[in-house]
Amino acid sequence: MKRVVVVPSILSANFCRLGKEIQEVLKAGCNLIHFDVMDNHYVSNLTMGPMILKSIKNSGIKVFFDVHLMASPVDSLIPLFANLNVQFITIHPESTNHLDRTIQLIKKIDCGVGLALNPSTSLHFLDYVIDELDLILVMAVNPGFGGQKFLTYVLKKIQQVRSLIDKSQKNILLSVDGGISLSNIVNVIQSGADYVVVGSAIFHSDDYLKTIRKLTDIIIDN
């Protein structure tokens, strides 16, 4: 049976108690945290950077991070995430003038390479770089802000990416981010997701542990 992983997105966490928020979701069995970096250029929002990730690591929190760079130009940021417990660095093809060069920069710091596809981003980018990827992130909302509504037409895109991954016969993970909740997670996993990135549904709930267990139970049942 396919194992789908719930990845909490701390974009929706309470930044005043970020360390405790991370510890809470780790108690629920999560072992990968989604870390959104926004620069107020590629998207119209400003969030976290490598200094915060370094502080989390130095505090003794032992967890791997899935870093999603919504920044442009992106190349100068990538080396700053070296040696910070980063498992994946995911970039947008629109954020760089030379996509292959940027992919090689991620490989150089020994991180898995992810490519993020916005709702309107063409899948043709994958024609040229899919063999270089470890993860493909399908955005189910337009990037920039948490708490947005899931765009249902993206389910078709998830299915298309799943088909491309299967045809490639590569060990590439399919991640989906944006508006995922208890009410739509079934559709997401049935469309082919390996990772479901969940922010507001977890961190805006009264009980993180209970919510993550509910999400996990739905995954197991489907």
- Could you list the residues known to form a binding site for a divalent metal cation, using ranges: 34, 36, 68, 177
Among 36, 39, 75, 134, which one carries the catalytic annotation? 36
Among 39, 66, 75, 177, which one carries the catalytic annotation? 177
What angle, rounded to 10 degrees, do the helices at 208-221 and 18-27 form? 40
N-terminal to C-terminal alpha carbon distance within the chain:
10
Considering Cα of 205, then 209, then 215, then 218, what sign does the dihedral take? Answer: negative
Whether residue 36 lies in the annotated active site: yes
Element (H, E) at 106: helix 99-108
- What does the DSSP 8-state code read for residue 9? B
Whether residue 177 lies in the annotated active site: yes
**Contacts of 161-169 spanning 24+ positions with Cβ under 8 A:** 161/117, 161/123, 161/126, 161/136, 161/192, 162/191, 162/192, 162/193, 163/192, 164/123, 164/126, 164/130, 165/130, 165/136, 165/192, 168/130, 168/131
Environment class of 116 (CB within 10 Å of its CB; exposed 0-12, middle 13-18, buried 19+) = buried
Instruction: Output the known binding site.
Output: 9, 34, 36, 68, 144-147, 177-179, 199-200
**Catalytic residue positions?**
36, 177
